[in-house]
């Protein structure tokens, strides 16, 4: 017996089940938990989920924090191999807060055990890491196994296009781990779904990964959020990459806010050996709200991962990047100003111990009638460890019949965008008697134009790229011509995002167009009409007794309006002050009168009045 003042800690477990065997299994689990001092494998943290109602659709998006969840127990028993055991996400959907719609997977004895991920158009709402952990987990739970996924890759947003307007839905986005193996008998587990009904108010309290949402048509006169202009403006630099944007949550879009995207770069050191070269590539990007020029707001700071899709949602939108890995000649888009000229090649200059440094510009070579410009000295080979040109490998500067320019901006004004650069000229044709004109013999060689727009540490010109004509010897099917005066070669270099590149765009938030709202009054309708005793979208009763709430919906309402409901004889039954978000044009009547009594069966007249917009009159019926 306990002595006076004595304290003892006790642990209790209430074990329930669908039958005796199920209850005994649950009792064994509780005993095992106690025996191991409550130290056991932990599910990943739940993601933080946001839901956006649409017209017949629901958009969900969530953060990535769950992917860094630690399971210290798994880490301890696997020497930290499985410390981070996150594997994927699943979406559950139900029309009741208990998720009975999704709680359909039973074990070997028919006991409900797992929730089934939502399936839309035959596709399961489940995504997992592409890490080779696929299919059914080897450990079963009373005859049923956990499905790990198909190496789909992760996803952080989902659009349910099979939602019915006016129907309340509950969505849960759970993260799950990949569990243990046959050596420890640990099955995978979902992150918790926290739902609690307040016994006093009947309100449903939801955890961070569970949302309640009702799709609806927008308010009358609604115009969706958009980006000003058709594309993101490339206001500086010449990158070949592309940036795309997508509006995920229109209600978070800020009106007339201007954003800029900038980049940093890095040099990937030579990995090819003596003949190799360093490569410039994108390192990271920044996203800054520059609406307030004195106090710009950095939203993304030095982010190294440029997502090609499924990026982070910021201010209601997200970006996608289609970048170029490295500088390279784009043969497909490069061209002559006219047809019937020899094709050309463009490459990083390299001869003997002289290796060019590629630069991120587009170029054009303009051919002239006379020798209107001059090349500079070009050494193709230096004596070892000196700056002295190897005898016989110097091509001195001379008059030439072409001009080379590089594009440094994208204003569309030639005199600003294109800048003349120095060039070297390897003049070998006619063979044995070079003439200072760029040409080729069609069979053996072509002259080389060497771009000298890089500067070494002493600010001296140094090669970057080289240009020559492709030769097609003994090909009688092709007609060849050398470039003539007035011809221009346009050379496109594919370039990653670099510090010179600045992209800018402006967002426009959703708004109400008053004239459109007046026209949209004709779209107002009552659902259901007539009302027969109940309707599918009425919410589940959260109390232990009673019928639960009843509901008639008015759709396509103005954002602010007054709904008055009258009997057929003109007696006022109920006045409803409707105010909603502009993307949610649904109002509700709970079928109670202004005296809080149940409305009688019969025909009613409704009158909707919206200041500055107009009014709408119609009928509705309640049938026993």
| Domains of the chain, residue spans | 39-213, 225-326+500-508, 334-491, 513-622
Residue 480's pLDDT is what?
64
Distance spanning both ends of the chain, measured CA to CA: 65
Q: Do residues 450 and 466 touch, judged by C-beta distance below 8 A?
A: yes
A 10 A CB-CB count for 81 gives 10
Residue 544's pLDDT is what?
56
Judged on CB neighbours under 10 Å (0-12, 13-18, 19+), 284 is middle
Residue 278's pLDDT is what?
63
Q: Which helix (H) or strand (E) holds 162?
A: none
Q: What is the pLDDT of residues 206-231, one digit of tens each?
A: 999 999 999 999 999 999 999 988 77
Residue 271's pLDDT is what?
47
Alpha helix (H) residue ranges in 366-413: none
Residue 269's pLDDT is what?
61
Q: Which is more confidently placed, 55 or 444? A: 55
Distances in Å between the Cα of 422 and the Cα atoms of 275, 302, 406, 490 are: 25, 36, 10, 17
Q: By C-alpha distance, which of 314, 315, 242, 311 is closest to 501?
A: 242
pTM for the model stands at 0.86
Residue 310 has pLDDT above 80, yes or no: yes
- Of 231-235, 534-538, 554-558, 599-603, the range with the lowest mean pLDDT is 534-538
Give the whole-number percent of the chain exceeding pLDDT 90. 77
What the block records as the tokens of 126 is: 């489940």
A 10 A CB-CB count for 577 gives 9
Residue 88's pLDDT is what?
98
**Which CATH architecture describes the domain 39-213?**
Sandwich (2.60)
Residue recorded with tokens 């799950």: 176
- Of 43-57, 130-144, 408-422, 472-486, the range with the lowest mean pLDDT is 472-486
Residue 534 has pLDDT above 80, yes or no: no
Q: What is the mean pLDDT of residues 481-495?
A: 93
The hierarchical CATH code for the domain 513-622 is 2.60.40.1930
Q: Which is more confidently placed, 410 or 502? A: 502
Residues in CB range of 73: below 8 A, 6 or more apart? 39, 40, 41, 42
513-622 has the same fold as 39-213: yes
Residues in CB range of 265: below 8 A, 6 or more apart? 280, 281, 282, 283, 496, 497, 498, 499
Q: What is the mean pLDDT of the chain?
A: 92
Q: Which helix (H) or strand (E) holds 205?
A: strand 204-206
Label residue 277 by pLDDT band (50, 70, 90): low
Label residue 249 by pLDDT band (50, 70, 90): very high
Cα 472 to Cα 480: distance, rounded to the nearest angstrom: 9
Q: What is the pLDDT of residues 76-123, one digit of tens each?
A: 999 999 999 999 999 999 999 899 999 999 999 899 999 999 999 999
Q: Do residues 361 and 238 touch, judged by C-beta distance below 8 A?
A: yes
Residues in CB range of 309: below 8 A, 6 or more apart? 320
23-50 burial, b if ≥16 CB within 10 A, otherwise e?
Answer: eebbeeeeeeeeeeeeeebbbbbbbebb
Rg (CA), the chain: 36
SS3 content of the chain, % helix, strand, coil (to 5): 5, 40, 55
Residue 275 has pLDDT above 60, yes or no: no
């Amino acid at each position: 017996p306990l002595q006076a003042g004595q304290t003892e800690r006790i642990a209790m477990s209430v074990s329930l089940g669908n039958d005796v065997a199920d209850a005994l299994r649950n009792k064994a689990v509780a005993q095992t938990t106690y025996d191991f001092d409550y130290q056991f494998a932990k599910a990943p943290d739940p993601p933080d989920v946001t839901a956006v109602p649409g017209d017949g659709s629901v958009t969900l998006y969530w953060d990535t924090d769950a992917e860094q969840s630690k399971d210290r127990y798994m880490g301890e028993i696997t020497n930290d191999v499985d410390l981070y055991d996150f594997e994927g996400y699943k979406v559950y959907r139900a029309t009741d807060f208990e998720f009975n719609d999704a709680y359909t997977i039973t074990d070997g004895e028919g006991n409900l055990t797992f929730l089934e991920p939502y399936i839309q158009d035959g596709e399961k709402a489940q995504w997992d890491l592409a890490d080779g952990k696929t299919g059914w987990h080897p450990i079963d739970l009373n005859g049923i196994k956990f499905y790990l996924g198909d190496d789909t890759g992760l996803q952080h947003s989902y659009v349910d296009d099979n939602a019915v307007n006016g129907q309340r839905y509950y969505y849960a986005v759970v993260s799950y781990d990949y569990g243990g193996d046959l050596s420890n008998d640990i099955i995978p587990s979902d992150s918790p779904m926290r739902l609690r009904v307040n016994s006093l108010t009947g309100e449903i309290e939801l955890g961070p990964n569970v949302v309640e949402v009702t799709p609806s048509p927008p308010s009358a006169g609604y115009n969706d959020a958009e980006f000003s202009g058709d594309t993101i403006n490339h206001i500086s630099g010449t990158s070949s990459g592309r940036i795309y944007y997508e509006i995920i949550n229109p209600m978070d879009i800020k009106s007339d806010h201007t954003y800029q995207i900038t980049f940093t770069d890095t040099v990937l050191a030579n990995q090819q050996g003596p003949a190799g070269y360093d490569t410039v590539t994108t390192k990271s990007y920044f996203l800054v709200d520059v609406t307030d020029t004195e106090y710009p707001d950095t939203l993304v700071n030095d982010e190294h991962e440029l997502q090609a899709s499924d990026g982070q949602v910021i201010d209601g939108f997200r970006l996608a990047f289609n970048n170029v890995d490295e500088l390279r000649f784009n043969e497909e888009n490069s061209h002559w100003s006219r047809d019937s000229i020899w094709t050309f090649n463009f490459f990083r200059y390299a001869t003997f111990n002289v290796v060019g440094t590629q630069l991120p510009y587009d170029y054009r070579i303009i051919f002239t009638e006379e020798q209107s410009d001059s090349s500079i000295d070009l050494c193709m080979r230096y004596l070892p460890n000196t700056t002295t040109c190897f005898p016989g490998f110097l091509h001195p500067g001379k008059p030439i019949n072409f001009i080379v320019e590089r594009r440094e901006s994208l204003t569309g004004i030639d005199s600003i965008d294109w800048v003349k650069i120095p060039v070297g000229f390897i003049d070998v044709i006619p063979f044995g008697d070079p003439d200072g004109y760029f040409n080729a013999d069609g069979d053996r060689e072509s002259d080389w134009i060497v771009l000298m727009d890089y500067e070494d540490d002493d600010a001296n010109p140094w090669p970057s790229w080289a240009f020559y004509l492709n030769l097609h010897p003994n090909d009688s099917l092709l007609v060849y011509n050398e470039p003539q005066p007035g011809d221009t070669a346009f050379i496109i270099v594919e370039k990653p995002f670099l510090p010179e590149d600045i992209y800018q765009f402006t967002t426009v938030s959703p708004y109400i167009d008053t004239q459109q709202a007046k026209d949209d009054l004709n779209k107002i309708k009552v659902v259901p009409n007539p009302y027969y005793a109940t309707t599918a979208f009425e919410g589940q009763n959260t109390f232990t007794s009673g019928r639960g709430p009843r509901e008639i919906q008015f759709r396509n309402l103005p954002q602010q309006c007054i709904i008055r409901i009258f009997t057929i004889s003109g007696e006022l039954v109920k006045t409803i002050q409707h105010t909603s978000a502009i993307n949610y044009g649904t109002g509700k009547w709970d079928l109670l009168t202004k005296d809080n009594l149940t409305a009688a069966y019969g025909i009613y007249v409704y009158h909707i009045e919206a200041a500055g917009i107009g009014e709408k009159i119609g009928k509705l019926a309640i049938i026993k």
